[in-house]
Chain A
Amino acid sequence: MNRVLRQRYRVRPSLIFFLTFILQSVAHAHLTVEGIGEVGSGVLHPLMTPVHVLILLALGLMLGQRVPFDLKTPLQILAPASAIALLATTTGKINGVYPPILIGLAMGIAILVALEVKICSMVCRLICAIAAIGIGLDSGLEMGTALMVGKTLAGTWISINIATSYTAICASHGAEKPWAKIGTRVIGSWIIAISLLVLAFSLRKTS
């Protein structure tokens, strides 16, 4: 039985990676959203926007570092806050978020990850709310029918919540292993470094 299981899991990763490479090129041809559907493009949006990826990654790692691990409480804030922010973009009065704010947000959360700061539940909720609002407000659509916009924003909402949850679950698995805890902190330091460089770039461009 074990042998069968081992063989099964040995084949699967390589197959999935292979499929990922093939499908990636297919998806890429339609990255301008046509062809993959509104929900699909909504799902991909936060994962294709580097600064959103950094925030979601840092947020997920921060939630995963918490002992005892609790995903329910942060999600109770993250899910409605991101939904409200995404809905707010449909008013047409919000044209994204000033990029340095999002980069600063990623850096702030990453500092907590790198230093492995133990944060209380209230601060955790606050950070989740700020991150969700930041990404949500930055994910608005410029045009499209109401149905199209609704589907795309729904995809983005799903993506924000699932990406954060998944990263948090992965990081929480590592909470028992010293090497994985170190790895989490190293990733945190990399996010800080990336954010610092990008902030400097944006300062140079504005000056």
Chain B
Amino acid sequence: MITPKNRNTWLAPCILLLFALQSTADAHSGTGSAGGFVSGFMHPLTGLDHIVAMVGVGLWGAFLGGRAMWMLPVVFPVVMAFGGAMGVLEMPLPGVEIGIALSGIVLGAMVAFAAKPPLWVAGIIVGIFAIFHGHAHGTELPESANAMTFAIGFVLSTGLLHLSGIAFGLLVKWPWGRIAVRAGGVLISLIGFGFLFKFL
């Protein structure tokens, strides 16, 4: 239970975070999309294929329930960063665009068909797709980007997309919500097909 005392304990770190993030955002506002917190934060939000996959991960995690709800959003950013590092270091990875499109299709289908594989299988599926997404982001990062603030914005943004997927996925507690979530899965899958066959 959050008591007034606990609330006060959490308040100060929040304020410190405001101080810290605000200044980092300001420090690079003049560099446009090249660097800084803001451009890092906006980067995952500029591609629909990325957005649907991130939301799909959260959605599937919430749909699977239990440990999966937090395990998938923990696995995804770490593996994605690994893929991002590969992209930054210009290590080749074939079929990145196809992998990204497939991620939308597969993750959406998992939600749409209410698939509940073992947690380790779900982790591997999510991990494989995370590498493609990370690699795509990594190769697109400009030389002039401020690495630290860019990475903070980038990871925070990705995490928040997962969180929005989880929040939507929590509707499965209600019968109508279950239908809505599965319909969301269908939509994600369709968008994935759109990218695979170049409709979008």
B74, B84, B154: the one within 8 Å of A114 (CB): B74
Interface residues of A, count at CB 8 A: 44
> Interface size class for chain B?
35 or more
Min distance, Cβ A146 to any Cβ of chain B, angstroms:
28
Decide yes or no whether B199 CB sits under 8 A from chain A: no
With A24-B18, A200-B138 in contact, do A51 and B84 touch (Cβ < 8 Å)? no
Contacts of B159 in A (CB 8 A): 186, 190
Min distance, Cβ B6 to any Cβ of chain A, angstroms:
6
Contacts of A200 in B (CB 8 A): 84-86, 88-89, 138
Residues in B120-175 with C-beta less than 8 Å from chain A: 138, 141, 145, 147-152, 154-156, 158-159
Inter-subunit contact B148/A189 (CB<8 Å): no
Inter-subunit contact A16/B74 (CB<8 Å): no
Decide yes or no whether B20 CB sits under 8 A from chain A: yes
Inter-subunit contact A186/B85 (CB<8 Å): no
Complex: chain B residue closest to A196, CB-CB: B81
Decide yes or no whether B115 CB sits under 8 A from chain A: no
Contacts of A93 in B (CB 8 A): none
Bound CA span A31–B19, Å: 12
Contacts of B104 in A (CB 8 A): none
Complex: chain B residue closest to A163, CB-CB: B16
B residues lining the A interface (CB < 8 Å)? 4, 6-13, 15-16, 18-20, 22-24, 26, 70, 73-75, 77-78, 80-82, 84-86, 88-90, 138, 141, 145, 147-152, 154-156, 158-159
Contacts of A199 in B (CB 8 A): 85
Contacts of B77 in A (CB 8 A): 189-190, 192-193
Inter-subunit contact A197/B78 (CB<8 Å): no
Min distance, Cβ A49 to any Cβ of chain B, angstroms:
9
Known: A190-B159, A195-B151. 7 other contacts (CB 8 A): A27-B19, A50-B152, A51-B148, A189-B74, A194-B148, A200-B89, A207-B89
Decide yes or no whether A69 CB sits under 8 A from chain B: no
Inter-subunit contact B6/A173 (CB<8 Å): yes
Contacts of B11 in A (CB 8 A): 13, 16
With A16-B11, A170-B13 in contact, do A194 and B19 touch (Cβ < 8 Å)? no
8 closest Cβ pairs, A-B complex:
A200-B85, A201-B147, A193-B81, A196-B81, A197-B151, A200-B88, A193-B77, A50-B148
With A170-B9, A182-B70, A190-B155 in contact, do A20 and B19 touch (Cβ < 8 Å)? yes
Contacts of A31 in B (CB 8 A): 23
A24, A28, A50, A197: the one within 8 Å of B85 (CB): A197
